Amino acid sequence: MSLTKIDITKQAMHVFDLLAKDWMLISAGTEEKWNTMTASWGGVGVIWGKPSVTAYIRHSRYTKEFVDNSEYFTITFLQDGHRDALNTLGSKSGREIDKMHESGLTPVFVEGQPTFEEAKLVLVCRKRCKSEIAPEDILQQETIDKWYGDHDFHTMYIGEIVAAYQG
């Protein structure tokens, strides 16, 4: 299996299915040291005239350190049949185990960025913006009560999609 470079602006995507039902992986780092995590919050669209993604990472997540210290990150949507891997990558910490290999997936690098051979879609993103989501910026208390009872708030990243690959 190999990944083929595509023009993301020519693709039809069902982003609600991709994000909420299929989930995605956010990965960053170098071939020597990198990490990934499962996420279901985000968006795909056009920001500042460029195809872009928004990704949200809680302060406690190990992957956040890699995204913060990298110019690029990847968003990976896996082919069907990898829900167990997504669950492992979303529930285990790379601080404690080599979850990228424990997941059963095959790590590969495209454009120098980490992803997996089992991908159906990979978006290579260059960070353009980083913004902390502060409690005072959330307009409904019920949102804080439901999603942030532990006060582990998110950082929002906007990444310009600089390359896309299809599996």
- The residues near 155 (Cβ < 8 Å, ≥ 6 apart) are 56, 57, 58, 59, 64, 130, 131, 132, 133
Output the tens digit of pLDDT for each of the chain's 167 residues.
589 898 888 877 777 777 777 889 999 999 999 999 999 899 999 999 999 999 999 999 999 999 999 999 999 999 999 888 887 888 878 888 888 778 889 999 999 999 999 999 999 999 999 999 999 999 999 999 999 989 999 999 999 999 999 98
Q: Find the helix or strand (DSSP H, E) in which 57 lies.
A: strand 50-58
- The residues near 68 (Cβ < 8 Å, ≥ 6 apart) are 130
Report the DSSP beta bridge partners of residue 154.
58
CATH number at residue 79: 2.30.110.10
Q: What is the pLDDT of residue 111?
A: 95
- Report the Cα 68 to chain-centroid distance in Å: 13
**How many independent structural domains does the chain possess?**
1
pTM: 0.91
Q: How far apart are CA 148 and CA 134, in angstroms?
A: 11
Domain hosting 54: range is 4-166
